[in-house]
Amino acid sequence: MSTEAHTGAPAEEQALVGRAVAGERDAIADVVRLLQDPLYRLALRMVWRPAEAEDATQEILLRVLGNLATWRAEAKLLTWAYRIGVNYLLNLKRQTPQEAAELSLDAYRDGLADGLAEADYRGPEATLLTAEVRLTCSQAMLQCLARDERVAFVLGDVFELNSTDAAWILGITPAAYRKRLERAKKRLGDFLTATCGLANPEAFCRCSRRVDKAVALGRVDARTPGFARHPITPGGRTVVQAEQQMARLHDAAAVLRAHPDYAAPQAKMDVIAGLLHSGRFPLLD
């Protein structure tokens, strides 16, 4: 088993957590602000839909805060929080639709070929809806991986953590992690190379030719697109910037990495704030 994280926590994080554990409300709120958006982006990659990711993020944050006194600065605070989050997400009983249907990448590719239009979508909000199709599709294809491979790919190729930190988060050796990551990368790379025109210009699928079908199937809501208009972290990457980054990189990992820097929806974070001020939270007892 992997027992040591590659990078310890900086002194300012240790001081912040010390104040939070001592019951300083502002410090607890700062811990939440530091962790909420990265944990939300992790949850979103694992559970697919924003509503489920909101619920998961709230639960993960409450577990992080409830165990904050046990943090020993053996890893950065976010790395440690990822470990708690990954354990929660891997053991979720609730399944995504793709998991419930045991949908394979091959079956997903066949579905993308069905109903592909002969020309690019030129209707209202064409740019927005094309981006929504891409973002929804990349979320869905991740769900075709087993959870252990999915989280390995997210940690390594989406969040770009090194193998030592990612292995520590998962509680396995770096060598075992690298093997798991390579399996996930090969499966996704083969799929994207054969399917996705963004990763391979010779592949058959184009986001702009999937818009009508995605709307008809209810996979994209033309009135309220969930991903393309999702709030982002202040100063984070926008949808446009993510698209530009992907176009420059042109590889399989880039297609899945190039989501905006989504922010955790404020409503759920307000629930946590309410708990912190309720007098019932363990850190404040």
Nearest to 252 by CA among 158, 189, 206: 189
Q: What is the mean pLDDT of the chain?
A: 87
Asked if the structure places residue 156 within a domain, the reply is yes
CATH number of the domain that residue 53 is part of:
1.10.1740.10
d(CA 115, CA 214): 9
What is the average pLDDT across 146-158?
Answer: 93
Asked if the structure places residue 3 within a domain, the reply is no
Asked if the structure places residue 148 within a domain, the reply is yes
Helix (H, G, I), strand (E, B) or coil at 103: coil
Asked if the structure places residue 61 within a domain, the reply is yes
Token pair recorded at residue 251: 């590889």
Task: Specify the pLDDT at position 232.
Answer: 86
Range of the domain at 210: 98-220+228-261
Burial label for 12, CB within 10 Å (0-12, 13-18, 19+), is exposed
Number of domains the chain is built from? 2
Asked if the structure places residue 111 within a domain, the reply is yes
Q: Are residues 179 and 67 in the same domain?
A: no
Q: Are residues 135 and 199 in the same domain?
A: yes
Q: Are residues 46 and 73 in the same domain?
A: yes
Contact assessment for residue 42 and residue 154, using Cβ atoms and an 8 Å cutoff: yes
Helix (H, G, I), strand (E, B) or coil at 133: helix
Q: Indicate the pTM of the whole model.
A: 0.86
Q: Are residues 168 and 193 in the same domain?
A: yes
d(CA 247, CA 254): 8
Amino acid at 71: W
Contact assessment for residue 227 and residue 265, using Cβ atoms and an 8 Å cutoff: no
Poorest-pLDDT segment among 15-29, 151-165, 270-284: 270-284
Task: Specify the pLDDT at position 265.
Answer: 75
Q: Are residues 127 and 244 in the same domain?
A: yes
User: Which residues does residue 262 pair with via DSSP β-bridges, in sequence order?
Assistant: 232
The model's pLDDT over 214-253, given as tens digits with 9 standing for 90+, comes to 999 999 999 999 998 888 888 887 777 766 655 554 455 5
Percent share of the chain, pLDDT over 70: 84
Contact assessment for residue 191 and residue 109, using Cβ atoms and an 8 Å cutoff: yes
The model's pLDDT over 93-139, given as tens digits with 9 standing for 90+, comes to 999 999 999 999 999 999 999 999 999 999 999 999 999 999 899 88
Token pair recorded at residue 160: 């770009």
Q: Are residues 236 and 104 in the same domain?
A: yes
Q: Are residues 71 and 203 in the same domain?
A: no
Q: Are residues 159 and 49 in the same domain?
A: no
Q: Are residues 252 and 270 in the same domain?
A: no
Q: Are residues 31 and 142 in the same domain?
A: no
Please report, to the nearest 10 degrees, the dihedral formed by the alpha carbons of residues 36, 42, 48, 52 taken in order: -40
Asked if the structure places residue 275 within a domain, the reply is yes
Q: Are residues 18 and 150 in the same domain?
A: no
Asked if the structure places residue 80 within a domain, the reply is yes
The model's pLDDT over 163-206, given as tens digits with 9 standing for 90+, comes to 999 999 999 999 999 999 999 989 998 998 899 998 888 999 99
Nearest to 262 by CA among 245, 238, 246: 238
Asked if the structure places residue 113 within a domain, the reply is yes
Q: Are residues 52 and 133 in the same domain?
A: no
How far, rounded to the nearest angstrom, does the alpha carbon of residue 39 sit from its chain's CA centroid?
Answer: 8
